[in-house]
Amino acid sequence: MNKFDEVLAFYQNPTTQFQLESFRKRVKDFFENNPAFSDHLSVVHSVKSRLKDVNHLEEKLVRKESEKGKEITTDNLFNEITDLIGVRVLHLYFDQFGIIHNEIMKQIDNGEWTLYEPPKAYTWDPDMSEEFEKLGIKSNRKDSYTSVHYVIKPNPKENVFCCEIQVRTLFEEIWGEIDHSINYPVKTDSIACAEQLKVLSKLASTGTRLADSIFRSHIDHKKTKADN
Tell me, what's the pLDDT at 158?
Answer: 61
3-state secondary structure at position 151 = strand
- Helices 191-227 and 170-183: angle between axes, nearest 10 degrees: 170
| Cβ count near 7 (within 10 Å) | 22
> Which pLDDT value is given to residue 156?
66
Task: Estimate the crossing angle of helix 14-33 against helix 5-12, to 10 degrees.
Answer: 50
Let me know: does 142 contact 197? Beta carbons within 8 Å: no
What are the tens digits of pLDDT across the range 21-77?
A: 999 999 999 999 999 998 666 899 999 999 999 999 998 898 888 887 778 899 999
pLDDT reported for residue 144:
78
pLDDT at position 119? 96
Say how many Å lie between the first and final Cα of the chain, rounded. Answer: 76
**What residue type is 7 in one-letter code?**
V
Quote the pTM value: 0.89
Mean predicted lDDT score pLDDT of the chain: 91
134-172 pLDDT, tens per residue? Answer: 999 999 877 778 999 999 999 866 668 999 999 999 999
- What is the distance between the alpha carbons of residues 108 and 82, in angstroms, rounded to a whole number? 17
- 81-104: average pLDDT: 96
Q: How far apart are CA 24 and CA 49, in angstroms?
A: 7
**Quick check: 173 and 144 in contact, CB under 8 A?**
no
Q: Report the C-alpha gap between 222 and 116 in whole angstroms.
A: 42
